[in-house]
Amino acid sequence: MAKSAKFSKIKGTNSDDEFQIVDPDFSYDGKKGVDIAVFHSSFDDFDFARKGTGNDKVTVTDSTGGIYEFKKVETLLFDNGTAQLDDDVYYSTATGATTRVDTQIAASAQDGGELFVGSGNSVNDFVVTQSESVGIELALAVKYRQGPSQDPVSVDADGTVHFQVNDGVQSTTNGSSSNNANRAAWSFDYSIATGLDGATTDLSDFTFKLLIDVDPTAGTEFRELTMVDHGGAIINDTGFVWIDQDGAPTISDDGGNANVAQNSENYAFGFIEDFIDADPNTPGQQPYAPGFGPAEFDIRLEAYDSGHNLIAANQIAVEVIDFV
């Protein structure tokens, strides 16, 4: 990536400014006021990366590698979508839902400042997708197991939010409260909330799918789980279990209620690890445990209405890097 010092710099006034974006390799400083940058092209042609250095710095890269840098610019307007940079809102034009990065889940999905499931599971630092029209929220978070949550490193044009974590087992080195050689270093949390914004719906009014990537390469091979009421005794307060493609119950211990379903999962759990071939180039299936080595995994949460139409989706990509 070219250094911003080589870019042509354009500064705004101390009032509201509108920047017309034409060519790449420019750096825009909105200064004071509420500022907007207008791209005469598709939202889908760009990737977003927040620098994390303060001052609302965001780097946008187009499909040809062209770079645009923004500082204190609140809104990017495209022909078919909007990125609201001041509060990390990215608009998913495919479903009309909005995705916020590194934020808190809905108040109704919280239990005394924690998730309904387990103890000490934070309600902060989630990637949150909401569809206000139907009152649902899909949220995903990445953390070191029994340790700190992780901040995203970038956002793709399609809304996929990227994270990086260390490989190996659960360790205090990563901030976990204890060592555990039987668990991967990191976990992911999911949270589903319904009945938001005055909606009278609950979990039973939608179909939810959880797709978990079991291909450690840059490709994807998803295990698709579906939340269902399978008619048997349910050991959790949601009234639902997750079944796999073969109809076998896979996750049955969600926390929540009639409107909320939440859990925390780890790649050492059998319903995930048993399906991972850690070395596809070697004949047979090579176990991912106990090393839990470098890999790339995508995790996707989807919501469908009664007509089987996709109404919201939240996808993250986790790069597991070699910890030296």
DSSP-assigned letters across all residues of 31-98: -SS--EEEESS-GGGEEEEE--SSTTEEEEEETTS-EEEEES--EEE-SS-EEEGGGTEEE-TTTS-E
Tell me, what's the pLDDT at 87?
61
By the 8 A CB rule, do 227 and 208 touch?
yes
Residue ending a domain, among 34, 50, 85, is: 85
Tell me, what's the pLDDT at 86?
67
**Is 90 within the bounds of a domain?**
no
What's the domain range around 238?
98-321
Which of 298, 318, 291 shows the shortest CA–CA distance to 143? Answer: 318
56 and 144 share one domain: no
**Is 58 within the bounds of a domain?**
yes
By the 8 A CB rule, do 271 and 251 touch?
yes
51 and 151 share one domain: no
66 and 124 share one domain: no
69 and 180 share one domain: no
Which two structure tokens, joined as six digits, stand for 108?
């109704």
Which two structure tokens, joined as six digits, stand for 323?
């910890």
Beta bridge pairs of residue 48: 60, 155
Sign of the dihedral defined by the CA atoms of residues 313, 144, 285, 283, in that order: positive
138-175 per-position pLDDT tens digit? 999 999 999 999 999 888 878 899 999 999 999 999 99
212 and 300 share one domain: yes
For 95, other C-beta atoms within 10 Å of its C-beta total 18
Q: Rg of the Cα trace of the chain?
A: 21
Tell me, what's the pLDDT at 56?
67
Task: Give me the chain's average pLDDT, please.
Answer: 91
Residue ending a domain, among 55, 85, 115, is: 85
286 and 157 share one domain: yes
Q: How many domains does the chain have?
A: 2
209 and 277 share one domain: yes
Residue ending a domain, among 85, 117, 137, is: 85
Which two structure tokens, joined as six digits, stand for 61?
């890269």
Distance CA 168, CA 84 (A): 36
**Is 42 within the bounds of a domain?**
yes
**Is 93 within the bounds of a domain?**
no
298-307 per-position pLDDT tens digit? 999 999 999 9
Q: Show the low-confidence residues of the chain (pLDDT under 70).
A: 1-5, 51-56, 86-94, 324
Tell me, what's the pLDDT at 263?
98
73 and 130 share one domain: no
Tell me, what's the pLDDT at 3?
43
By the 8 A CB rule, do 30 and 75 touch?
no
Ranges assigned E (strand) in 87-206 = 89-91, 98-103, 126-131, 136-144, 154-155, 161-166, 169-170, 180-184, 186-193
Tell me, what's the pLDDT at 51?
65
112 and 40 share one domain: no
39 and 121 share one domain: no
Tell me, what's the pLDDT at 75?
86
**Is 114 within the bounds of a domain?**
yes
Please name the residue that has the structure tokens 């990563």.
174
190 and 303 share one domain: yes
Tell me, what's the pLDDT at 2?
41
53 and 141 share one domain: no
**Is 92 within the bounds of a domain?**
no
